[in-house]
Amino acid sequence: MRRPALYSRSNQAPRDKAPDPPNPAPVAAESDPARRWFSPSDPRLLWAALAVMAVLLVISLSLSLRTSPRKLTQEDINAAVLKTLETTQLPSAVARAYEAIRPSVVRVTGYGKSKDGKEEVEYGVGTGVVIVDKGIILTNLHVVQGAQTIKVVFSDGLESTAHITGAQPENDLAVLQAHKIPDDMIAATMRSTGDLAPGDHVLAVGYPFGIGPSASAGVISGLQRTFRSPEGKQEMRNLIQFDAAANPGNSGGPLVTMDGEVVGIVTAILNPNQQRSFVGIAFAVPIENAASAVGLTPF
């Protein structure tokens, strides 16, 4: 069997040719400083890159500190506030007072039997204000006096019956206890009348002619006024006179300051023509008298 040929290099150089010089050692490449510095496997390249990055970071931080916003001054704050006031419409003092007292105002209705005694009929509508969150309500005595059934409607629409727990006839005040109250019942805040003065702004909230809750704004016209009922049967003293519009149905409602705090209970209007409509003079019982009707500590 024939074997395949094997090939190999000859170890003998031709006699007529000088032997090749030996390969030069790679000393030159290693001795070249530039090539030795940029060798990818050389750790000094990594340290050099880190050093460059550190320098760039320091420069960046320095520039950012130089360009940081300046410290706000009081003039800047004043200018921003003024700009907001010029471009934003804020609610009026009357609107804020109304929103503060509205959750505490209730509609009060008295019911009695019809003449034939067969059905229950409405015979009077007024207003009340919750002064204790357990459902204790102040109103006028003339709103509920003689009623066989009293119903109140809270600001959230909840309707409940109520009964009279106290009365102060000399100031035409009655205290009611509601049988049901809202889960989030909010009582009004009462405020002393000691620092009231003519010209102070006030707000009357109630159900004039059953419409409401309605708000009317005015000022304190005078203090310590006296009012005699049209029939002459009763005279009340030490009343607050005010000019916010009040009409039948406002009786028993709160008279409040621009902070929404109750300073009086609306009780009467003065009309020389006996038309039972507002001519600019109304009266309220000071809240100190009203508070004493429920046994609350005077201010």
Which residues lie across from 167 on neighbouring strands? 174
Active site residues: 142, 172, 251
Residue 242: Cβ within 10 Å count: 31
- Distance separating alpha carbons of residues 258 and 31, to the nearest angstrom: 94
Nearest to 127 by CA among 111, 142, 114: 142
* DSSP of 77-90: HHHHHHHHHHHS-P
Nearest to 202 by CA among 93, 91, 89: 93
Distances (CA, A) of 251 to 30, 33, 34, 122, 153: 109, 105, 103, 16, 15
Contact 101, 203 (CB under 8 A): yes
Q: DSSP state, 20?
A: P
- Please tell me whether the peptide bond between 69 and the residue prior to it is cis, using omega within 30 degrees of 0: no
- Distance separating alpha carbons of residues 168 and 175, to the nearest angstrom: 9
288: left (phi over 0), alpha (psi -120 to 50) or beta: alpha
- Distance separating alpha carbons of residues 253 and 223, to the nearest angstrom: 18
Q: Token match 């009012």: residue?
A: 227
Tell me the residue type at 168: Q
